[in-house]
Chains A and B, each alone.
Chain A
Amino acid sequence: MSKRIPASPVNRKKRRRSLSPIHNAELPKVSVIIPAMNESKTIAAVIRQADQVHPDTEVIVVANGSTDGTAEIAQTIGARVIHMPFPLGHDVGRSIGAAAARGDILLFTDADIVIKASDLIPLTKAVEDGVDVALNKYLGPTDKHHVHSVILAKHALNILVSNPELKGASLTTIPHAMSRKAINLIGIDNLAVPPKAQAMAIYNGLKVRGVHYVDVGRRNPRRGRTKGNDPLETLIVGDHLEAVDWLISKSGMRGNRSDLTRNRESVW
């Protein structure tokens, strides 16, 4: 279980510690990829936790469209910073970061939530132990009648790609880790559309597992029933549809499902 660490360090000891820069490994085992846009309040703590995931770690911050000094803070702490002056749009930073990553294991997280290293390590450990895509088991609120469209889409996609045991575990949710093999098979560009990447991984027989529960719910500002005017909700549902469209392109119009004894030609 994760607890959020307060964004503003009150404790002086902590503040002093945060001044010493991290050290990126020459030959990293784990690359942590952190897309960031105006997250100057949390970025330092996020980088520091990420750095502790493995002795040989590199931390890559993809700072895009930031005007609050996020990139400069990341630079000062010692992360590898890829600087883009304009916003990349949702999840594009993952592709950019992955392209620069040198590790065998890629760990993806976000800059707006500080997740303790102890909640990140189970994911990279699972990949070390043979899982190709290690997902956060967090599902969001599902003990209700009408769930959020994003939760519904995540569950539906896993059912449609024949991996319903994952329930709503998804590459859309951070944190998650991937093997180099998974990255190569999925293709770096497809990481920007996480549900599609997930469909590709599952369809191609990669080991995709929910391995650890990290509560990332509280950072989502909008929950419950929305009237469909949330652009992020629209984007994520669209991503899932795009994933289904990809699945159909590979497995036919019924997704390799049986028609049983249906005699379609009986009616015209």
Chain B
Amino acid sequence: MIPASHSFRRAMKRVSKRTRTRKKRSARQVGAHIFKNRQTPNGMVDSWKEKAYAAGYQQAAHEVSITTDTPPHIRVNESWNRWYHSVKPLPLTVYHAAAAKFLEGHSKHSGIYLGNAVLLPTDKRVAAIVVVMNEKDTILKLLEQLHRLPLHEIIFVVNGSTDESFEMIRNQSKAIIVHYKQALGHDVGRAVGAKLADSEILLFLDGDLPILAEHLVPFIDAIEQGSDIALNDISPLIGMFSERDYVTTVKEFINRSMGRADLEANSLTAVPHAMRKEAAQIIGYANLSIPPKAQVIALEKGLKINAPASVDVITKNRLRARNVGLQNAVSDLIIGDHIEALKTAFDLKGSRLSFTDQIRQRQLTKV
């Protein structure tokens, strides 16, 4: 068992290296590069599927039938984690295949059928926070994906909606809905949801952007692995520097100014992203309304930020009257957010941050 998993890990490493060079070569290729280690030999996948099926069956057999209030999906997820934590890490491609087989094995014994449910690599409580404003066209698709995950809470912050978004959510889910008649304004809903949530991991989403449940797993996994904030890695989606929009350039500038060139243009402004609840508290819930400011505060406080996976939110972003064109009201607001974030950084670290000019004889310029 041990030597097997050893060589297994080595194999993973080799694969991910290869993927990285490919990513560099075709950096412009758009698409969800979720699985950084896609190429896994079929034999390996099959062997893990078998093991997972057997484990699922056994776990179900060992479960004493105590009647609890815990929903079945979450109970199965707990079983899954008991097994998964003894064998992890599995590359994500294997992960989903194995989880599906685990469910199958489990259901074979327990009779609990969860359809195409997805299991999470954590026992921690997870909340999805979804900001909604007139999203009747996308909200059901989004709900469908969220229901595939063993979430402890789903919080919809419906604000300024004049369509039937609210009714649709109410009829189709047991989610917590916070309803504001008036629009809260950009990103304020996230702060409301974050403050209300009673889970250890918060997953932030927008109502206009349904994302496949499997594609949300890496963000939660990153928090489970010790990250405080897991951002969407938009780097493969934004093309050459000379072709980028203003907001993207400003995002990259702020990361570079904070000494985090490795984060490129990745930002809390973009969804999906995940955050430890405790990190949200440290940042200050109100600050989550101005995402770049929250990011600067997080970096300044030494929180761990990474960008574990890419979800294409750029080509899928719904076009609205206010966000069309190089310069639009929304981009103006986001640039304002970044100026505000820089102001926060200057207040903490001075007007040049860590970029000094000691070699300059300034006193001589006063003529």
Contacts and interface: CB of A to CB of B under 8 A. Distances in A.
B123 interface: no
B234 to A, nearest CB: 12
B131 to A, nearest CB: 12
Interface string B177-199: 00010111111100110010000
Interface residues of B, number: 62
A5 B192 CA distance: 63
Contacts of B250: 156, 159-160
A189 B367 contact: yes
A190 B360 CA distance: 13
B339 A145 contact: no
B353 A241 contact: yes
B12 interface: no
**Secondary structure type dominating chain B contacts:** helix
Contacts of B160: 261
A237 interface: yes
A87 B359 contact: yes
Nearest to B338: A160
A97 B43 CA distance: 74
Interface stretch (A14-22, A49-57, A115-123, A242-250): A242-250
B360 A268 contact: no
A262 to B, nearest CB: 3
A259 to B, nearest CB: 7
Given A152-B253, A164-B246, A263 B360 contact: no
A89 B352 CA distance: 17
A228 B246 contact: no
Contacts of A231: 359
A262 B357 contact: no
Contact of B289 (A159, A242, A267): A267
B286 A267 contact: yes
B256 interface: yes
B335 interface: yes
Interface residues of A, number: 58
Contact of A160 (B184, B185, B339): B339
Contact of A238 (B180, B261, B342, B357): B357
A266 B264 contact: no
List the 6 closest pairs (A to B, CB-CB), nearest first.
A257-B336, A238-B355, A262-B185, A89-B360, A156-B253, A245-B351
Interface of A: 86-92, 95-96, 99, 142-147, 149, 151-153, 155-156, 159-160, 164, 188-192, 228, 231, 234-235, 237-239, 241-242, 244-248, 253-255, 257-264, 266-268
26 contacts: A95-B365, A155-B249, A159-B249, A189-B362, A235-B355, A239-B355, A241-B351, A244-B342, A245-B352, A253-B339, A253-B340, A255-B339, A258-B329, A260-B330, A262-B186, A262-B289, A262-B333, A263-B183, A263-B184, A263-B185, A264-B286, A266-B180, A266-B184, A266-B192, A267-B188, A267-B285
Interface of B: 24, 27, 160, 180, 182-188, 191-192, 195, 235, 240-242, 246, 249-250, 252-253, 256-257, 259, 261, 264, 285-286, 288-289, 322, 326-327, 329-330, 332-333, 335-340, 342-343, 346, 351-353, 355-357, 359-362, 364-367
